[in-house]
């Protein structure tokens, strides 16, 4: 049988809502089978409309909307976290143990991706930089001492990648301190 037009569906809905019609009468007026009318009546009772609610295929998502909101808020503050840390957070807050691949897939669906972090110094202040340049410009080259700090860099625990929305750059604030104590030796002693 061909599908019912929108006018025919509306006529069936109004007849079912008004009552006083048998299923056989409705089917004869509209020109469809009785099981079609029965199915439409059940849909009206369950969903309040003549068609059932649309269901997509597959199993239900294990990451709920509340969990997604939790991840979104958490990553806006801590963009450099690992998937395992997000998994522990979801378990602590929602009591659900989710796999890291599921979290990664959810982040991808939320338009978040993992990107290289850009380090931004916390101490960036134009006034201090200008003051420093003014002080250094009065010194001669033989008065300056340069220390090689490559072996004492405190960036061992620096996370190179972070999570950020698509088309946005990931950056973190880094403190410019060194962990190695330096002793300047002069040839005067």
What is the number of structural domains in the chain?
Answer: 2
Q: Is the pLDDT of residue 94 over 70?
A: yes
Q: Is the pLDDT of residue 110 over 60?
A: yes
Give yes or no: residues 167 and 113 share one domain. yes
Cα→Cα distances 11→14, 16, 30, 152, Å: 5, 9, 8, 81
Provide mean pLDDT across the span 79-91.
Answer: 89
Which range of residues forms the domain containing residue 31?
6-47
Residue 186 is assigned to a structural domain of this protein: no
Give yes or no: residues 69 and 100 share one domain. yes
3-state secondary structure of 150: helix
The alpha helices in 78-113, defined as continuous H runs, are 83-94, 100-109
Structure pTM?
Answer: 0.45
Is residue 4 a contact partner of residue 39, using CB atoms and an 8 Å limit?
A: no
Q: Is the pLDDT of residue 159 over 80?
A: no
Q: Is the pLDDT of residue 67 over 90?
A: yes
Give yes or no: residues 93 and 167 share one domain. yes
Give yes or no: residues 43 and 67 share one domain. no
Give yes or no: residues 77 and 120 share one domain. yes
Q: Is the pLDDT of residue 45 over 60?
A: yes
Buried b (16+ CB within 10 A) or exposed e, 75-91: beeebbbebeebbebbe
């Amino acid at each position: 049988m061909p599908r019912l037009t929108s006018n025919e569906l509306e006529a069936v809905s109004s007849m079912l809502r008004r009552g006083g019609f048998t299923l056989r009468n409705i089917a004869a007026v509209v020109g469809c089978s009785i099981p079609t009318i029965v199915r439409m009546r059940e849909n009206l009772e369950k969903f309040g409309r003549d068609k059932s609610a649309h269901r997509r295929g597959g199993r239900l998502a294990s990451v709920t909307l509340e969990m997604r909101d939790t991840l979104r808020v958490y990553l806006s503050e801590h963009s450099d976290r690992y998937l395992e840390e997000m998994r522990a957070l979801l378990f602590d807050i929602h009591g659900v143990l989710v796999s890291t691949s599921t979290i990664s897939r959810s982040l991808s669906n939320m338009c978040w991706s993992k990107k290289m972090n850009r380090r931004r110094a916390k101490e960036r202040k134009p006034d201090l930089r200008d003051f420093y340049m003014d002080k250094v410009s009065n010194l001669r080259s033989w008065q300056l001492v340069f220390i090689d700090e490559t072996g004492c860099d405190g960036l061992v625990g620096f996370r190179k990648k972070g999570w950020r929305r698509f088309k946005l750059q990931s950056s973190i604030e880094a403190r410019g301190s060194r962990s190695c104590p330096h002793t300047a030796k002069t040839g005067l002693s």
